[in-house]
Structure 1
Amino acid sequence: MSNSPPIDKTAIRHASTVIVLRDRHTAPRILMGQRGAKAAFMPNKFVFPGGAVDAADVDIPLAGKINPRCHTHLTQKTDADRTHALGVAAIRELWEETGLILGKKGVWDSTPPADWTEYAATGHLPDASALQFVFRAITPPGRPRRFDARFFLIDAEALHGDIDDFSNASDELSHLQWIALEDVRKFDLPFITEVVLAEVAGRSSKEATPDSVPMFLNTEEESLFLRLAGNSPLEHALKP
């Protein structure tokens, strides 16, 4: 039995979500799966791969860091620089939930933690350099789980192996599939996913890192739509 203290279900946990885009310039599709009916957070909804940052993520070495512009945006409107841990969490969650590898060919310098054993066995080191930070959202108060989620976009070309092979995926997401952007709203989606999809659709033909990143900030007092741009995270603040 674990001696760890119980998780405060009302606390806001930091999280990473990965939007994988393929065939960007021809027939863009994104990877999604369905959460279980008994899931405490967003049951039955179709979502992107992702999940909470683990305490151990800060100690996992990266073969490539998140690019400087994304780093600037990730360090705004926060009490600490969690860029490294968020990048690690994105790669780990993508691997666990889909079996897809975002990394660089290489051998680990030391024995990987248990959560990374199977990933390391593929002959890769986690590499966050392909991640583009494109959205941030904090779950509104009153939900059974609250997350401060950073959404990262990657091109499927950055992945290693067969991108249609989900045989190494866990059972956390079912019905993993590539969905055409034009068809995705036919599925049962969370509200925030629909909002993020609008951003992805607008970026589907662009490969450069965005100059600013939209953010939904939900607190007990108010809900705001912000843009994280340059050194002014409150620039262009608007009511949603």
Structure 2
Amino acid sequence: MTSPTLTPRAFTLFLQQPAPKEKPLLPPWRPEVSGTCTTSWSMVPKGDSGGVLLFLGSLALLGLLVGYFFVIPHPVALQEPPAEKERTTILLEEAEVTRIGTRGKEWTLRAPHIEKQGDTVVLSSIAGTLFSEGMPLYEVRALRGCVLLGTQSVFLEGVELRHVTTGEQFLGRELRWQGEQKAFTVEGVRFIGQGARAECDELVYNVAEKKAYLRGNVVVRLEMGKP
């Protein structure tokens, strides 16, 4: 007797159907071909329609999976580069920034190169003037600095202040003049005046009173006989 040849379909069906317990072996099966398209299997009992449906459902699911992963093209997701923060930059040549208070000019800063980034104006090689009630008080020079337009505050680095009348000088590491305050602060100060020199950690200059206050590790040297 010729052994039956299991096609892949018949083999799959055999794996999915539980083996019947204590039933006589079925007679050898053979396909019964009806027409040209329909094939029935005598191996499957006619009453076991649930197994047939399960087998057909498995084939349909397998076909869908094969079509999804191997036939249907899928778009490749491109990773977008991280977005940069938005900002507006304005470059000005030979420009100046001026603050005018309720009593006139307070300060004017000029620079050969001014860069505006959002609400911040960045300057370098600065020359300008500090005012008291609209009148020039100190000529100022600085290596670099910035102006915050939102609070109208000034921050300068590498500062040199020279009084417009007496010629006294303040050399400092950093100058801060914040918003509506009527005083500016200089850190890391060396003072050169008429017949005196001084050093301190901080200088606070009250513009309304036109007075300077030295604070922190103050050292004063009097130079007798010198103007």
Higher relative contact order by CA 8 Å / sep ≥ 6: 1 or 2? 1
Greater fraction strand: 2
Greater fraction helix: 1
Work out which of the two has the higher radius of gyration on C-alpha atoms and give 1 or 2. 2
TM-score by length of 2: 0.20
TM-score by length of 1: 0.19
